[in-house]
Amino acid sequence: MSPMCMYSAVDGFATDWHLVHYGSRAMGGTGTIMIEAAAVRADGRIAVGDLGIYKDEHIEGLQRITKFIREQGSVPAIQIAHAGRKASNWVSGAESKTLFPEDKDGWEIIAPSAIAFSPESQIPKEMDLEEIQNIQNAFADAAERALKAGFELLEIHSAHGYLLNEFLSPLTNKRTDDYGGSFENRTRMLFEIIEKVKKVWPSDLPIAVRISATDWVEGGWTLEDSIKLSRKLSETGVDIVDVSTGGSIPNAKIPVGAGYQLPFASAIKKDKNNSVFVGTVGLIDSSKQAETILANGDADFIFVGRELLRNPYFSLNATRELRAQNIEPKPYEIAFK
């Protein structure tokens, strides 16, 4: 299951919604459940309803979810994130708008450079070196809490125009210090975070990094950059690159269609100089489509998003379709004997 924000947390705390929502997908046979972007700091939330992992008190509610997921035979995973210049919004259903510090539930936002996401957005405060260190420590603290909460796979969110993606893209990072300019400098923040996370996250549990393989904008981050980055991620000990696209720049022209992001994942997977595991995501909503991607060697993992919102039993149905095998959650089995 691909990470999907539910905007249903209270002060970052998981609620009954999260247990039932993720629990249903675990009962539905989903192999790995990636819990939505959990904010590493309160100001890193997209909106006040975001899940948080910025307080030790958040651990208990998350633990309840990982325990249930594991009991259903699924693997609990979590994405940790900071929304950067895309933080501080009001979100309700499909509607959203930027909030300013003076608005109720709004706050001051940060980014590598003081460039607003859109004309309607807040101008973020450019991070100084002390703030860069603080954020790195916040990611490491969040990783430690994720481990305590029982997660077995950790994903660092470096995609979709959020904070770490903002450091990577030359469109959003105009810094002139060690964290901006060259490819090496723009990727420094991500690698320093990985280094700190690895000090608290055990080496026998996997780490994933979600990237946007392209900004879909001229002069932005490209597939070539992503191939280069993925090689370096693998060398650093990252196990999985979860390949998404876009999100840095509003109104980028994106040719959305079935499996539209697959060519990016496939190019990283087929890179002969890299053996990192590769995940693909984006409009993959049938078992046969997913199986073909794996069989063709275009990716190692399929992340399913919205189809799993519509159909929590997607994986059980896929097993029936592909293997002519019926698998039900254990307590149901008596009914189909």
Ligand X SMILES: Cc1cc2nc3c(=O)[nH]c(=O)nc-3n(C[C@H](O)[C@H](O)[C@H](O)COP(=O)(O)O)c2cc1C
Residue 234 CB partners (closer than 8 Å, separation 6+): 241, 274, 275, 276
The pair of structure tokens assigned to 197 is: 């996370």
For 217, the token pair is 């904008």
Cβ neighbours of residue 82 under 8 Å, at least 6 residues apart?
39, 40, 41, 44, 135, 138, 139, 157, 162, 163, 164
| List 159, 171, 208, 267, residue binding ligand X (CB under 6 A) | 159
CB of 281 vs ligand X, minimal distance in Å: 4
In terms of C-beta density within 10 A (0-12 exposed, 13-18 middle, 19 or more buried), how is residue 99 classed? buried
Stretch that binds ligand X, among 18-26, 137-145, 152-160, 194-202 (CB under 6 A): 152-160
| Angle between helix 223-235 and 262-269 (nearest 10) | 50
> What does the alpha-carbon distance between residue 246 and residue 227 come to, in Å, rounded to a whole number?
16
Q: What mask, x for binding ligand X by CB under 6 A, covers residues 31 to 60?
A: -----xx-----------------------
Q: How far is the CB of 193 from ligand X (least distance, A)?
A: 16
In the complex, minimum distance from the CB of residue 210 to ligand X, in angstroms, rounded to a whole number: 5
**Residue 130 beta carbon to ligand X: minimum distance, rounded to whole angstroms:** 28
Tokens of 251: 């109104």
Q: Largest alpha-carbon pair distance within the chain?
A: 68
How many residues of this chain interact with ligand X, rule: CB under 6 A? 20
The smaller minimum CB distance to ligand X, of residues 4 and 75, is found at 4
Rule CB under 6 A: is residue 3 a binding residue for ligand X?
Answer: yes
Tell me the DSSP string of 183-234. HHHHHHHHHHHHHHHHHHS-TTS-EEEEEES--SSTTS--HHHHHHHHHHHH
- By beta-carbon proximity to ligand X, the closer residue of 97 and 330 is 97
Map the footprint of ligand X across residues 305-334, applying CB under 6 A. 305-307
If phi > 0 it is left, if psi is from -120 to 50 it is alpha, else beta; for residue 297 that is left
What string marks each residue from 191 to 220 as x (binds ligand X by CB under 6 A) or -?
Answer: -------------------x----------
Does residue number 304 form part of the binding site for ligand X (CB under 6 A)? yes
| Strand 301-303 to 110-111 pairing | unpaired
Facing residues of 302 across strands? 280
287 contacts ligand X (rule: CB under 6 A)? no
Find the shortest distance in angstroms from Cβ 303 to ligand X: 6
Contact 26, 333 (CB under 8 A): no
Using CA atoms, how far residue 9 sits from 13, 17, 303, 318, in Å, is 5, 8, 23, 31
Binding mask 245-284 for ligand X (x = CB under 6 A): ------------------------------------xxxx
Q: Between residues 78 and 276, which has the closer beta carbon with respect to ligand X?
A: 78
| Least distance (Å) between residue 4 CB and ligand X | 4
Of the candidate spans 14-22, 126-134, 156-164, 231-239, the one that interacts with ligand X by CB under 6 A turns out to be 156-164
Identify the active-site residue in 7, 162, 179, 313.
162
18 binds ligand X (CB under 6 A): no
Q: Is 162 a catalytic residue?
A: yes
Binding to ligand X, residues 79-108 (CB under 6 A): 79
User: Which residues are known catalytic residues?
Assistant: 162
Per CB under 6 A, residues contacting ligand X are 2-5, 36-37, 79, 157, 159-160, 210, 244, 281-284, 304-307
